[in-house]
Structure formats: C-alpha cells, structure tokens
Amino acid sequence: MSTEHNVVTLPSAAHPRDTLGRPLRDLRISVMDRCNFRCPYCMPKETFHDNYRFLKSTERLSFEEIYRLTRVFVGLGVRKVRLTGGEPLLRPNLSELIGELTALEGVQDVALTTNAVLLGQHAAELKANGLHRITVSLDTLDPAIFKRMSGGFAELDRVLEGIQAAVQADLTPIKLNAVIERGLNDHTALDLVDRFRGTGIIVRFIEYMDVGNRNHWSLDRVVPSRELLQRIGERWPLHAVQENYRGEVAERYAFDDGSGEVGFISSVTNPFCGDCSRARLSSEGVFYTCLFANAGLDLRTPLRDGSSDGQLLDLIRNHWQQRGDRYSELRSTLRSGEQPLRKIEMYYIGG
C-alpha cells in the first residue's frame, strides 16, 4: 500500500458545495457488503439467504483503492471518515486500512461502526493502528429479543464482551446505536439507559428508517424520539445539550445528575438534511450522496482504467455539485407518489 500520505492539493475555497450550499465533510465507507447478522430492519433473512449473491472479493475495492479515493475526498473537504458495512470486522486485515487512513493528512477523525461480535478479538489491534472511536449497534439487552433482532445469528454476551474490550482498549467515546421498533424492543429501551448511564458509554436511539426496499417498513412501527425522550426524562431528568458541531446527527440530552448523556437520531420525525455533509462509498466503489439514493456514481471503473487523481477529483466534485438530496425532509411526499421508490440497501451503502 502507498506510504504517500499527502492530501490531493486543492485550495479550500475550491471545496465544492452542493445545490443546497452543503459542503462535503464526512465520508462513510462500506468495506464489506456481507454480514454475520440478519437484522430484519436491514438484511431480512428471506432476502439475504444462503444463496444470496454478495460481491466477489475482486469486485470490492482493495485497500489501495479505498485509500486513494479517500485522499481525493480529503482534497475536496472530507475531514471525518467512518468505516462501516455490512459488518466491517469481516473484512480481513481491516486494521491495516485503519492505519493508513488515520495517517492521512487532513483526516481528523476515523471511526468504525460494528455489531461487535468480532470486537473482542480486534479491539486492541484497532486501537494500536490508530482508530479513534467506535460505535456499536446494540438494540436491546433482552437476550431473546436480541437474538430475534439479529436474525437469530448472535449471542448477546459476545457483543457485551466486545464492548468491554473496546472500553479496555480505550476506543472512546464509545457510542451505542439502538434501533427502536414499536412492538419489538421499545419496551426495553430504558434498560439500555439504565445499564450504561454513568459508564461514559453514550446510548443513542435511532428511529427505525425506511432504508432500502426490503425491510417492510411502516410508519406505525417508528417510535418518535420525543416519545422516548419523555419516558427517559420521567425516570432520569434530562436537559438539552448544544450540538458539538454543525450537522451533528444526534440530538443530545444530558442527565441532570451528571451521569452522562443520551442521543436521539430522528431521521423520520425531525430530519436533518439541511446540514447533511455526508458522502457514502459502497464496497464496490459506487459514490452515493444520500442514504436513500437510488443511484450513484461508479468510481471503480475510472480507478481501474487508470484515471489520474485529478480526473477522479473532477468526477467527485461534479457529482457533489449536482447534489440536491433531502429525502428525509421529503419522505411523506415521495412515499405517496404512484411509482414505488427504489432505494439502495443499507447493508450495501453502509449505515
């Protein structure tokens, strides 16, 4: 892999803005389309069965290709990188890529989102290679519901051990993402708060989203964040906290007794498209400008056909400058249209 860490030089005034004036700041890279879970809201088992055709390893971007594209994205203003999937820890030697990305000039933050099943064996190595932060997905502490929400594939204890390993490796601040679905795990949400309050681990509740086309989403299964906020606040008084930076996706609330905070990601009831500066790169190298996109820009072909950094930079910049995505703000109008919406699947684009 390249040891050249220089950013592709571009004067900051030339950083592109999309049609709504939004800069490009965050890059979420899906390093693996496969997963060792089958969460029904993301990769329902009936679709992602044993014979499902995932990408071949040659179809996925290599670490060299990911690194090269990230350098170009950094030249366009990206400062934060998140590795995701599918399950990113299924990608062999992931720490090697993390070492390269954290050393890249201009990158201020490298984070990883994982289901944590393999975290116990990887946490120390991830830290040693420079990973800054980790986010673990954990929807409930009830073993039976957890099993169901992972598609029957996981043991809760292994995930909790993975979180403990991340604490020991000091991959902090650790955030826990919990997708809440009405009638499934909403009655267990407060247990998560109870367990992690005062530990430094920040629980964030995510409204169940209509990503992709296969999770049978319906609005009545979404638990609005304000409902959860009220329930949590009745038990442990809370106050709102200022956002850390413009465009932060989670609304943050601190416990009045000083024992930490909780966050709410309310893509359905309180969309945050106005400040969205996130780009996504699929594991096969398609660049998407929205989580709910139905098409993206293939970057793997020009990469493999010998395009220069400057040519790649032009392609990405032009694509960003044409961006007008604000799906969450338009959700109800778009969903009421006559044509069924085609959207890219979450496991593929990276959450």
**Could you tell me if 345 and 214 are in contact, meaning their C-beta atoms sit under 8 angstroms apart?**
yes
Decide: is 278 part of the binding site for ligand SF4 (CB under 6 A).
yes
List, in sequence order, every residue forming a beta bridge with 222; answer none if it has no partner. Answer: 181
Q: Pick from 55, 254, 273, 334 the residue near ligand SF4 by CB under 6 A.
A: 273
**Could you tell me if 190 and 250 are in contact, meaning their C-beta atoms sit under 8 angstroms apart?**
no
**Could you tell me if 197 and 260 are in contact, meaning their C-beta atoms sit under 8 angstroms apart?**
yes
Q: Pick from 29, 35, 94, 98 the residue near ligand SAM by CB under 6 A.
A: 35
Decide: is 7 part of the binding site for ligand SF4 (CB under 6 A).
no
Q: Between the CA atoms of 85, 88, 93 and 98, what dihedral angle is there, to the nearest 10 degrees?
A: 90
Spatial distance between the Cα atoms of 251 and 324, rounded to a whole number of angstroms: 24
Q: Which does 208 bind (CB under 5 to 8 A by kind): ligand SF4, ligand SAM, none?
A: ligand SAM
Alpha-carbon distances of 96 from 108, 115, 128, rounded to whole Å: 18, 20, 10
Binders of ligand SAM in range 214-243 (CB under 6 A): 215
- Degrees, nearest 5: CA angle 122-277-321: 130
Binders of ligand SAM in range 247-286 (CB under 6 A): none
Shortest CB 137 distance to ligand SAM, Å? 3
Binders of ligand SAM in range 74-103 (CB under 6 A): 84-85, 87
Q: Which does 215 bind (CB under 5 to 8 A by kind): ligand SF4, ligand SAM, none?
A: ligand SAM
Q: Between the CA atoms of 109, 265, 36 and 278, what dihedral angle is there, to the nearest 10 degrees?
A: -40
Q: Pick from 24, 27, 31, 35 the residue near ligand SF4 by CB under 6 A.
A: 35
Shortest CB 248 distance to ligand SF4, Å? 12
How many helices (H) and strands (E) in the chain? Answer: 11, 12
Q: Which does 25 bind (CB under 5 to 8 A by kind): ligand SF4, ligand SAM, none?
A: none
Decide: is 177 part of the binding site for ligand SAM (CB under 6 A).
yes
**Could you tell me if 80 and 104 are in contact, meaning their C-beta atoms sit under 8 angstroms apart?**
no
Binding site for ligand SF4 (CB under 6 A): 35, 37-39, 42-43, 85-87, 115, 137, 272-273, 276, 278, 290-292, 325-328, 347
Binding site for ligand SAM (CB under 6 A): 35, 41-42, 84-85, 87, 113-115, 137, 177, 179, 206, 208-209, 211, 215, 346-347, 351
